[in-house]
Structure 1
């Protein structure tokens, strides 16, 4: 049975009528006038944090004088647990919601409290909350975002507690640890590659959707034995790729019953040395109100109290009583009674008894002459 082999002529086939997928095309071109009109309609270029002094430090050369977090850039808030990182990010989100804009919140650590959710009840439709339980979920969300993740009109994206997911999959190891396995060494090297991928994806989202990105991270302790200084805190996430992608960086900490925000980087430039350990400048004090909002609070840094009150001098304690020794030291008596200890007295008596009378008289005369 013969089988017919059909020969297909490629040259005679009809040209495809469907256009190539949009992913293979570049961004559509537009005129300069259209781009200018879009810039004027997009709203302010900065998002306020609700603290005036902090906004002016983050954008000292803003045209409108409003200041704050720049759209299209990434800002990092780092510090110890309970310092106020999430509260500052949430207050920035509330300020954006008041302008009828949309906010996307990706939670990597702790769920938002009920009190915080009640504060945005009026704008619940504009607040989009997503929980990322693992690092794989987070990477899937930001590298290949779903169609409805960032709706139209979004001006702020918050990634809260990023270091929690990174530390779970790629934990930090002691610097001088010698008992590292091959798997741990591979994870330590992979950690920086993952952080670079996260930074690239966040910068892409910020640029394409013209939104500000806030990333909250934790901190780690560092001992400084060689320099003679005490322990200090350092950012929990770092690396060259991460540092280059950050536009603004703020340290939030608590000290002497006061809370502070230190600006370490703004508009892509460092205002502190490259190693931020133990160096905090441009400090802004703040406190929580009864409603949970953050407001600026001037704190006297020369005093150990938050209200700047004069510290009372400690009362002078009486001198401690003399400590009674266990054994009383008496004066050592003369050793006259101890001359028989080695038998010297007995030997002298024997020598005297055996002497003759002339020898004894001669020894007495010699003693008298001396």
Structure 2
């Protein structure tokens, strides 16, 4: 039996795919018109991701460009647990299915007893009951003759149990992956398998010292191994989106960074120059408790989430503005935008230049204790409700 029969992977000997630089795919995708977009289910968020240009404002509604996450590019959504990342991904999935396209959902999170009740079957960690409810509401709005089950049949689910499984699926995909007419690829979550395979810097230094590894080239390779894998994964996602003209949505987890910053800051777990350059759009989700006058309004505000666009059309937004911050709530059927006031900014925002100056090192790296390590101190700081609006790592406000 051949390797392809056992693993379902194409052979590398015959018909090997020729690789091209990722920048070549990027330039080719930006030079041609964007092949459509997929709505997030929140009109204000769609508008923040792809604002209307002066040339488009004069067009009729039938000729207007579709708004939402762009096809042919990679969109990243990150935020703390419970912020609504999976719910937003499911809303985008429902809209892609209603548009007649196929969706591939790659899950890396494990199934827990608490989430079993939200599944149609215990073999798939994807909350299909909630997705079916979203599809029913979308079909009622569009007056379509399709049934939710017919649309769900166009959803293909893959379970990536570990980081090698995820890399094998994306870097060496089986034949027919992704299938024709695929409009959306979701990875939930792309950062989930990484912590179990890569030690924190302090732990890695301790292991190297115990093993008495002094070869500089080997130490350098071990220290940069995570970033090399992250870069390869980001480049592959970008090439896949550009070559197949589909939208790639990756959900990224967060951790707390302290070293080099004026305060504890919530940051994406997967980051770095190569990763961030590959992201065409970045959206952060968080929760906050705005100032309210009465107890009833305070209780209602606890269910409000905020989606903030940090990067669009491949360019980071250097200034925070209310137009890019969208409040919304989550129910069983859909995401709903609200008119809630913008999140409080209890922690004063600083210009980017001042933030970097405040984070300048005054001691040598060897003099910094392990307890102050960037990743080693993540577990010491929990996420406190009400602090997230000022702690999210993103462009600072000039005000």
The TM-score normalised by the length of structure 1 is 0.64
- Looking at CA atoms only, which structure, 1 or 2, has the larger radius of gyration? 1
- The aligned counterpart of 1:245 is 278
Q: Distance in 2 between matches of 1:241 and 1:226?
A: 21
- The aligned counterpart of 1:333 is none
Q: Say if 1:179 and 1:302 are closer, same or farther in 2 by CA, change over 3 A.
A: closer
Contact 1:262 / 1:280 at 8 angstroms: preserved in 2?
Answer: no
- The aligned counterpart of 2:334 is 293
Contact 1:48 / 1:68 at 8 angstroms: preserved in 2?
Answer: yes
- The aligned counterpart of 2:136 is none
Name the structure, 1 or 2, with higher relative contact order (CA <8 Å, separation 6+): 2
Cα deviation, residue 125, structure 1 = 1.8
Q: Distance in 1 between matches of 2:283 and 2:261?
A: 27
Q: Say if 1:174 and 1:234 are closer, same or farther in 2 by CA, change over 3 A.
A: farther
- The aligned counterpart of 2:187 is 159
Structure 1 stretch displaced more, 264-273 or 79-88:
264-273
Cα deviation, residue 22, structure 1 = 5.4
Counterparts of 1:1-370 in structure 2, within 5 Å, are 23=16, 45-61=36-52, 64-110=64-110, 111-116=125-130, 118-119=132-133, 120-173=148-201, 179=206, 181=208, 187-223=222-258, 227=262, 229=263, 231-256=264-289, 257=302, 258-272=304-318, 282-289=324-331, 291-301=332-342
Q: Distance in 1 between matches of 2:164 and 2:19?
A: 29
Contact 1:109 / 1:162 at 8 angstroms: preserved in 2?
Answer: no
Q: Distance in 2 between matches of 1:164 and 1:100?
A: 30
Contact 2:36 / 2:66 at 8 angstroms: preserved in 1?
Answer: no
Cα deviation, residue 149, structure 1 = 2.7
Q: Say if 1:225 and 1:60 are closer, same or farther in 2 by CA, change over 3 A.
A: closer
- The aligned counterpart of 1:5 is none
* Structure with greater helix share of residues: 2
Cα deviation, residue 236, structure 1 = 1.1
Contact 1:53 / 1:284 at 8 angstroms: preserved in 2?
Answer: yes
Contact 1:56 / 1:65 at 8 angstroms: preserved in 2?
Answer: no
Q: Say if 1:172 and 1:112 are closer, same or farther in 2 by CA, change over 3 A.
A: farther
Cα deviation, residue 78, structure 1 = 0.4
The TM-score normalised by the length of structure 2 is 0.59
Q: Distance in 2 between matches of 1:303 and 1:249?
A: 21
- The alignment covers a number of residue pairs equal to 263
Q: Say if 1:116 and 1:187 are closer, same or farther in 2 by CA, change over 3 A.
A: farther
Q: Distance in 1 between matches of 2:224 and 2:19?
A: 34
Q: Say if 1:88 and 1:171 are closer, same or farther in 2 by CA, change over 3 A.
A: farther
Contact 2:76 / 2:283 at 8 angstroms: preserved in 1?
Answer: yes
Cα deviation, residue 188, structure 1 = 3.8
